[in-house]
Amino acid sequence: MQIQGRRYDTGEAVQISIADGHIRQIEPTTVDDGSPWIGPGLVDLQINGYGGQEFNDPALDEQRVCDIGLAMDADGVTSYLPTATTHSFEMLHHVMQTLAAACRSPEVARRVPGFHLEGPYMSPEDGPRGAHPLEHCRPPDWDEFQRLQEAAEGRIKIITLSPEYDNGPAFIEKAAASGVLVAIGHTAANSEQIKAAVDAGARMSTHLGNGAHGQLRRHPNYIWDQLAEDRLVASLIVDGHHLPPAVVKCFVRGKTIDRCVLVSDLVGMAGMPPGEYANTSIGDIEILENGRIVVAGQRQYMAGAGLPMTYGIANLPRFADVPLATAIDLASRRPAELIGVPSGALEVGAVADLILFQPPADDVGPLRILTTINAGEVVYQA
- Classify domain 41-342 at the CATH class level: alpha beta
**Can you tell me the mean pLDDT for 15-28?**
98
State residue 295's pLDDT score: 84
User: What distance in Å separates the CA atoms of residue 261 and residue 233, rounded to the nearest whole number?
Assistant: 7
Give percent of the chain with pLDDT exceeding 70.
100
Query: Per residue in 287-332, pLDDT tens?
Result: 998 888 988 888 877 888 999 999 999 999 999 999 999 999 999 9
State residue 279's pLDDT score: 77
Query: Per residue in 89-142, pLDDT tens?
Result: 999 999 999 999 999 999 999 999 999 999 999 999 999 998 899 999 999 999
**Can you tell me the mean pLDDT for 54-80?**
97
pLDDT of residue 364 exceeding 90, the answer is: no
3-state secondary structure of 334: helix
pLDDT of residue 282 exceeding 80, the answer is: no
Total Cβ atoms within 10 A of residue 335: 27
**If pLDDT is split at 50, 70 and 90, which confidence band does 352 have?**
very high
- 335-339: list long-range contacts, CB under 8 Å, 24+ apart: 335/43, 335/44, 335/45, 335/235, 335/261, 335/262, 335/263, 336/43, 336/79, 338/45, 338/181, 338/203, 338/204, 338/233, 338/261, 339/45, 339/81, 339/113, 339/114, 339/157, 339/158, 339/181
**Can you tell me the mean pLDDT for 231-248?**
97
State residue 371's pLDDT score: 98
pLDDT of residue 21 exceeding 80, the answer is: yes
Give me the numbers of helices (H) and strands (E) for the chain, helices first please.
Answer: 11, 20
- Domain extents for the chain? 41-342
Q: What is the pTM of this model?
A: 0.97
pLDDT of residue 221 exceeding 90, the answer is: yes
**Can you tell me the mean pLDDT for 58-72?**
97
| CA neighbours closer than 13 Å in the CB half-sphere of residue 85 | 29
Report the mean per-residue pLDDT for the chain. Answer: 96
**If pLDDT is split at 50, 70 and 90, which confidence band does 25 have?**
very high
